[in-house]
Amino acid sequence: MSRRYFGTDGVRGAYGGPVVNDDFAARLGQAVGKWLNRGGSGAGAEAAEVRGSGRESTSAEGRVLIGRDTRGSGVALAAAVARGLRAAGVAPVSLGVVPTPAVALAVQREAARAGAVITASHNPAADNGIKFFGAGGVKLSDDDELAIETLLDDAPLPPGDALLEGISGAAEAYVAQVGALLPPRSLAGWRIVLDTANGSTCGTSPAVLRGLGADVIGLGDTPDGCNINAGVGSEFPEPLAARVRAEGARVGIAHDGDGDRCVLCDEAGGVLDGDEILTILAVEALARGRLAGNLLVTTVQSNLGVEAAVAAAGGRVLRTPVGDRYVIARMLAEGANLGGESSGHIVCTDVAPTGDGLVAALRILEVMQRTGQRLSELRRVLRKFPQRAVALPVVGKPPLESLRELAAAREGIVRELGAGGRVLVRYSGTEAKLRLLVEGPTDAVVAAALERLQAAVRRDGLWR
């Protein structure tokens, strides 16, 4: 049974559309509350009194912590989710504007029942979404989301007001916890360009870096409710690269709108994606005997060069479907402490239960300090296979096996590439897009193969 509303990372779409609207958010909050009271997310006996009485629990275990990014629609959606939770007898508490990883850490730190983040991550400001953390700050599984959707189908619109009480200090606690990863004043003399995407890290990431002594030059740090990810952030690293070169900075750091991604820029203006960050961290950890199980967990999207580099250093790579929650689930199952995605989701489970763009950046800065190498030197550890990818806007999402032209083209390309390459075809879990990726022996071979796939998609009538 497939999920109807949840995608790769929560529920996401245009605000005011058929799914992401205030009424749906209230019904979703109510469904999550009912799921929690039935034992979801590890909730157990402590919820019994709440279930029996219809009262809200006032203990830490009875609360659901709600954070949001800087989108203007976030206030109304957060209030709507809270209204639904209250209707189910669960106590919602607002953390205000905080990064997604700060919510996960708060759930873990305070032993809350769950967490919710109102965000559409790297999507434009017109979109919004809702994603959830269960007990311990871990993202929900597919089965969890299916169970919630079952309760949502018949959920009436919950009554109540739209007020949401909050608590202060979540951002400060996050800054203190993450800032302790490096020694005090260890970044004194470092000039760093920081792009916070006009999102939820505008206050936290600069505070951590400046607290460590860095000279921080800000980009994308004036959120107005409508400019999140607007030409800045991890999806648009070009302004970061230009500013690093202009300022003579040692490194550039870019987050997405909710702060769970990291893209870096070296001192020469070269942009590093998640694959390069993961490879640097994995090879360094292997050299120091600190990569648990000698294992890096990444997704099918990551470049084949990652496997080659990690294997050469004495480690191994396991792949999961695209989505950082699948990476995290595999990491927990395998006892791994490092994983992530080429998009810049980097998960260090010895620090946080979910992807954290600032933690990833600090880990790289730590490697730079310890080795004395510039980022342009460290990145040489990964030699990428030629790769090209494209995301095509599509008119629907029919089963891939029903697209005969695409299936035939893919089969032919896979046969021609053999062991020297691969083809990945999948729908986006958060947008109406078909993602195509080809790796092969030369850029010319890869480019030609990608053109063949796109032509096949057009013949199937899916992309125009």
Which residues belong to the active site? Answer: 121
User: 69 Cβ partners below 8 Å, 6+ apart?
Assistant: 97, 100, 117, 118, 119, 120, 199, 200, 228, 257, 258
3-state secondary structure 232-290: CCCCCCHHHHHHHHHHCCCEEEECCCCCCECEEECCCCCEECHHHHHHHHHHHHHHCCC
- The pair of three-digit structure tokens given for residue 298, joined into one six-digit string: 């990444």
Q: Within a 10 A sphere around the Cβ of 254, how many other Cβ atoms?
A: 30
Identity at 232, one-letter amino acid code: V
Which residues is 194 bridged to in the sheet?
Answer: 218, 253
Kindly state the DSSP code that residue 384 receives in the 8-state scheme: P
189 vs 213: CA distance, rounded Å: 7
Closest CA to 20 of 33, 37, 7, 34: 7
CA torsion angle 373 375 376 378 (round to 10): 60
Q: Within a 10 A sphere around the Cβ of 51, how many other Cβ atoms?
A: 18
Q: Are 343 and 327 in contact (CB under 8 A)?
A: no
Alpha-carbon distances, residue 139 vs 24, 107, 132, 148 (angstroms):
21, 11, 6, 14
Q: Are 94 and 164 in contact (CB under 8 A)?
A: yes
Measure the CA angle with vertex 270, ends 268 and 274; round to 5°.
Answer: 140
267 vs 160: CA distance, rounded Å: 54
Q: Within a 10 A sphere around the Cβ of 227, how many other Cβ atoms?
A: 18
Q: Within a 10 A sphere around the Cβ of 411, how many other Cβ atoms?
A: 11
- Sign of the torsion angle spanned by Cα atoms 104, 109, 110, 113: positive
User: 246 Cβ partners below 8 Å, 6+ apart?
Assistant: none
For residues 80-114, one letter each, b for 16 or more C-beta atoms within 10 angstroms of the residue's C-beta and e for the rest, the string is: bbbbbbbbbbbbbbbbbbbbbbbbbbbbbbbebbb
Which residues is 96 bridged to in the sheet?
Answer: 67
